[in-house]
Amino acid sequence: MVFTHSLPLVPAPVSATAGEGRMPIAATTRVLGSSPAAAQLIDAVERRSGIRLSAADAADAADSASADIELRLDPAVAAPEGYALTVGDRVELVGADEAGLFYGVQTLRQLLREEEHGWGFLRAEIRDAPRFGRRGVMLDVTRHFFDVDEVKTFIDSISALKFNHLHLHLSDDQGWRIQIDSWPLLTELSSSTAVDEARGGFYTKDDYREIVAYAEERHVLLIPEIDLPGHTHAIGVAYPELVEEPVVSDALRSESLQQGQPLPVHGEAYLGTGVGHSSVRIHEERTYEFVRDVVRELAEITPGPYLHVGGDESLGTPQADFDLFAERVTAIVVEAGKTPIAWHEMGSAADIAEGTIGQYWGKTTPEGTHAEEAAHFVERGGALIMSAADAAYLDMKYTADFPLGLTWAAIIDVRSAYEWEPTAVLDVPDDAILGIEAPLWSETTRTLSDVEQLVFPRAAAQAEVAWSPREAPERVWESFRVRLGSLAPLWKAEGIDFHPADEIPWSER
Ligand code: ACM
């Protein structure tokens, strides 16, 4: 089969036909549209090209056909989040909703190219809408902390790939990252630490609201996670009475020795990267007072419908205790008016709250009890987010010698990140799969630049898995790698420190 790579778009749209040549732009090019997406387009074009397009004024609105670039809404044009885009002698972008307009603008940004005679949009006729409504990325802000501006930069770069959820992993053994007024020692005593004595930090409630609002303007919904009952050592630094003595397994002991990391000590900061040693006290009512307060305060500042309560790697917690905790914590989230999300292990609990969403992080070929645990969320009226660790984990190394990242799930080159099918992993109905999430765990990433090295370009592969129709002719590696390579000038202009993987023919312009 021969693929035409004439349109440099990632993720591939539902349908696209390339036209002849480009529509040139200049400072006199007028943009008409009252949607925030019109202003976002003007800003993005200026960042890229230095050309500030003109916003058409209200008088022009009466004669919309006179505008060079017109943005408008029409719910009939496509499914939710979809759009129709025509670039001919003028640009007409019609969004099914505000998100659709925003995504049409992201497509326009990829069509903007510089040639000998200046800047212009490649001519095209595009119809588009997402395959999955859930297209997520996770950022671990506990192992290393990323401040509000860094999170905003991250939101800019993922929303440009049409991701619409950002999961923030806000608590773990190494630190607590969100202000909770009723338990003030969490941030006073447990937020300043991170892996290897890196800088810690936390978000005040105002910081968090600022992130939520910034994300919302880019059609990204924030999902906060408090990881429970394991990954809770930092809670015990602030409130030792809530957390059990660390469970030091042989595996943790030998791994810590190998890495030159001290073992966890109850009530003292833990800066290593071992997992599975901590648990809140499951048979103490005080634990549930704590959980209720944290869930209530987080729910108050989270406009989105979801609260993630963790549930992974509670390796030292007896199964019956873990299941009891899973049932209670998911019920507490429901009482607070939110839908719980949990890592798939919580599917071991028979009476997990109805409607709880599971996040599958096993392999593309499930091992052990992972598939059964995941399926139980569906049996309880919930659904699944797919984060297959050997395909979608952004913190795995690209190659064995890549300086950042881990290898426990797999070595994931760009092609392996691209070639997986989220509905083919588990034996559940296709409509139980809400979509995907690509997590970035931050054990090895000290800076945002480190994060970007691992996330880009593989997040673009996940964006296409989540957005593009499975049957589209372009939805194949040979097409993807060329289209991906064409994003290089845009990413460079935006200052994204992507990894120039040698599988990809990166283009200069
Ligand atoms: C996980 O990677 N522990 C969810």
The more confident residue out of 1 and 31 is: 31
Report the nearest atom of ligand 1 relative to the CA of 441. Answer: 2
**3 confidence band (pLDDT: 50, 70, 90):** very low
Average pLDDT across the chain, whole number: 96
* Ligand 1, atom 4, residue with closest C-alpha: 312
Task: Give residue 2's pLDDT.
Answer: 37
Closest CA to 68 of 50, 89, 51, 47: 89
Can you tell me the distance from the alpha carbon of 438 to that of 458, in angstroms, rounded to the nearest whole number?
9
Region 280-292 average pLDDT: 98
Torsion, Cα of 431, 434, 436, 442 (10° steps): -140
**62 confidence band (pLDDT: 50, 70, 90):** low
pLDDT in tens, 118-168: 999 999 999 999 999 999 999 999 999 999 999 999 999 999 999 999 999
Task: Give residue 508's pLDDT.
Answer: 87
**365 confidence band (pLDDT: 50, 70, 90):** very high
Task: Give residue 6's pLDDT.
Answer: 74
**Could you tell me the two tokens for 221?**
């919904």
Task: Give residue 509's pLDDT.
Answer: 77
Q: How far is the CA of 389 from the centre of ligand 1 (A)?
A: 8
**63 confidence band (pLDDT: 50, 70, 90):** low
Region 231-246 average pLDDT: 98
H/E stretch holding 257 reads helix 250-259
Task: Give residue 1's pLDDT.
Answer: 33
Q: How far is CA 82 from the centre of its chain?
A: 20
**495 confidence band (pLDDT: 50, 70, 90):** very high
Task: Give residue 54's pLDDT.
Answer: 95
Cβ of 437 below 6 Å from ligand 1: no
**276 confidence band (pLDDT: 50, 70, 90):** very high
Q: How far is the CA of 301 from the centre of ligand 1 (A)?
A: 25
pTM: 0.97
Region 367-395 average pLDDT: 98
* Ligand 1, atom 2, residue with closest C-alpha: 361
Region 25-52 average pLDDT: 97
Cβ of 361 below 6 Å from ligand 1: yes
Which amino acids are annotated catalytic?
313
Res. 60: pLDDT tops 70: no
Task: Give residue 58's pLDDT.
Answer: 63
Q: How far is the CA of 241 from the centre of ligand 1 (A)?
A: 26
**Could you tell me the two tokens for 405?**
């990242």
Q: What percent of the chain stands above pLDDT 70?
A: 97
Q: Which domains does the chain have, with CATH numbers?
A: 15-128 (3.30.379.10), 134-470 (3.20.20.80)
Can you tell me the distance from the alpha carbon of 69 to that of 53, in angstroms, rounded to the nearest whole number?
10
Q: How far is CA 193 from the centre of its chain?
A: 24
Q: Scanning the structure block, which residue is given the tokens 């053994």?
A: 173
H/E stretch holding 222 reads strand 221-228
Region 67-81 average pLDDT: 96
Which range is most confident: 1-5, 60-64, 258-262?
A: 258-262
Q: What percent of the chain stands above pLDDT 90?
A: 95
**How many CA atoms lie within 13 Å of 293's alpha carbon, on the beta-carbon side?**
14
Q: Scanning the structure block, which residue is given the tokens 């496509």?
A: 78
Report the nearest atom of ligand 1 relative to the CA of 389. Answer: 2
pLDDT in tens, 173-222: 999 999 999 999 999 999 999 999 999 999 999 999 999 999 999 999 99
